[in-house]
Amino acid sequence: MASRASILHADLDAFYASVEQRDDPDLRGRPVIVGMGVVLAASYEAKARGVRTAMGGRQARRLCPEAVVVSPRMSAYSAASEAVFEVFRQTTPLVEGISIDEAFLDVGGLAKISGSPPQIAAQLRREVLRKVGLPITVGVARTKFLAKVASAVAKPDGLLVVEPDRELAFLHPLPIERLWGVGEKTAVKLRQRGVYTVGDVAQLAERSLVAIVGPAAGRHLHALAVGRDPRRVVIGQRRHSIGSQHALGSRRRTPAELDAVVVGIIDRVTRRLRAARRVARTVVLRLRFDDYTRATRSHTLAEPTSHTGQLLTVARSLVATVAPTIEQRGLTLVGVALSNLEDDDPLQLPLPIDRHGGSALDATVDDVRDRFGTRAVTRAVLLNRDEALVMPMLPD
C-alpha cells in the first residue's frame, strides 16, 4: 500500500452536459438537461434546482422550467472521452479506467519527472481544460477509496488532497453514504442503530457491523471506515460482463413489442462481445416492473459462445419464464447482460461436433455495420422502430 498520497481519482464534471456547454457557447452558465424522456446528465446549474440523473424528464422540467433540454450526442461524448484519456496516459502509464468520464491514476513514481502528486494533479486539470475544453475534478490520496471520496467532495471543478496524517479527520465526519457499498437499504439499517457518519461506523466493532449488514459487507465497510484499502491501480483489466438495457416507459408493451426490444438488445451486446473477441456462457435478464420492484433471471450454457442466434434463444426463454408476471405487473425496463466471459480463442469442439451456422452470418453483418453504420443492416422485426440509445463505454 502506498505510504503517501499518490493515487489520483480524476472525474469529469457533469460530463455530457459539459460537452454540450463546451460546444455551444449559448449554453454556458445556463441550466442544461441532456435527454428528453429521462435525464442522462444535468449541468450544475440544473442540479442546483434539484435535477438529477435518471430523473424523469417531466419532473426535471417542473423543477427547472428554464432549463435547456438537448438530445444526447453519443459520438461527441465518446470523442471527448478518448481525448481526456489520452491526457491521462500522457500523465502516467498507470491508468485504470472506471467509466468513460473517470479513472484512477497512480503517479507515485513520477516525483523526479513531473513533481509531487498535488502538482501533477493540478497540471492534469490544466491540460484537460486546455486540450479538451472540459472541467475535471481530481482527488489525491493514499488509497483509491479516499481519492474517489476526495474528488466527490471537491466537485465541481476542484482539487482536494488528503494527506495520510489527516485521512480520518477528513473521512469520519462524512455521511455513511460516502462508503462504497452503502446504498439506500444499508443506510436505513445503519441509521436504525444510530449510525450516521463514517466515524460512527469506525467506532463499531467489526463483529457488530457483520451482525447488521452481513459478513462480507460488514468487513468491507469496517475496513474502509478505518482507512484500509489495499487495492492498487490496475491496468489492462477486462470487463466481467457486457450488457445493455432499454427503458420502456409507462406504456404497456405487447409480447411482440417486448420481443423486438430483446432482439435489439441482444444484437447490440453480441456485436460488442465479438468486437472484444470474447465469448459468454451466462445470459442474465434484468427486469423492472411498474411498481419499481425488480427481478433477475439467468441461464448458463454448457459451452461459451458469441453467436447472436443462440444467445437470443436463451434470452427469449428467460423472458418466457416471467411472462405471467410481466402481464400482471407491467414492465418499465428490460436489460440483458452476458457474463462468464472468456477470450475467443480456438476451442476444442466436443463430440458430436455442432458448429453453429450463424457465425459466418454474424461476422458478415458486423463487417457491414462497421463499414456502413449500425443501421445499414437490421433485423426485420426492428424496422421502423426507434433505435435504443447506446451509451458510450470504455473499450474492453
pLDDT digits 0-9 by tens, 285-322: 999 998 888 999 999 999 999 999 999 999 999 999 99
Residues 199-205, mean pLDDT to the nearest whole number: 94
C-alpha pair distances (Å), 298 with each of 239, 314, 321, 386: 18, 9, 11, 27
pLDDT above 70: residue 78: yes
Whether residue 11 is annotated as binding a ligand: the answer is yes
C-alpha pair distances (Å), 22 with each of 47, 284, 392: 18, 38, 18
Region(s) of the chain under CATH 3.30.70.270:
1-163
CATH code for the domain defined by 1-163: 3.30.70.270
User: Residue 65 — φ and ψ, nearest 5°?
Assistant: -65, -20
d(CA 152, CA 358): 47
The catalytic residue among 20, 96, 102, 167 is 102
Mean pLDDT score of the chain: 89
Label residue 39 left, alpha or beta by phi (over 0 means left) and psi (-120 to 50 means alpha): beta
Number of other CB atoms surrounding residue 75 within 10 Å? 9
Whether residue 101 is annotated as binding a ligand: the answer is yes
Contacts of 166 (CB under 8 A, 6+ apart): none
pLDDT at 350: 56
CATH of 241-382, one of 3.60.110.10, 3.30.1490.100, 3.30.420.40, 3.30.450.20: 3.30.1490.100
* Residue 66 pLDDT level (bands cut at 50, 70, 90): very high
* Residue 11 pLDDT level (bands cut at 50, 70, 90): very high
d(CA 261, CA 276): 23
In the chain, helix, strand, coil percent, each to 5? 45, 20, 35
User: Residue 234 — φ and ψ, nearest 5°?
Assistant: -115, 130
**What is the 8-class DSSP label of residue 1?**
-
Region(s) of the chain under CATH 3.30.1490.100:
241-382
pLDDT greater at residue 54 or residue 186: 186
pLDDT above 60: residue 349: no
User: What SS3 class is residue 72?
Assistant: coil
Number of other CB atoms surrounding residue 359 within 10 Å? 16
Give CA angle at 103 (101, 109), nearest 5°. Answer: 150
102 given a catalytic annotation: yes
At the topology level, CATH places domain 169-226 in DNA polymerase; domain 1 (1.10.150)
Name the residue among 235, 256, 335 with its Cα closest to residue 295: 335
pLDDT at 340: 92
Region(s) of the chain under CATH 1.10.150.20:
169-226
Number of other CB atoms surrounding residue 367 within 10 Å? 11
Global confidence as pTM = 0.76
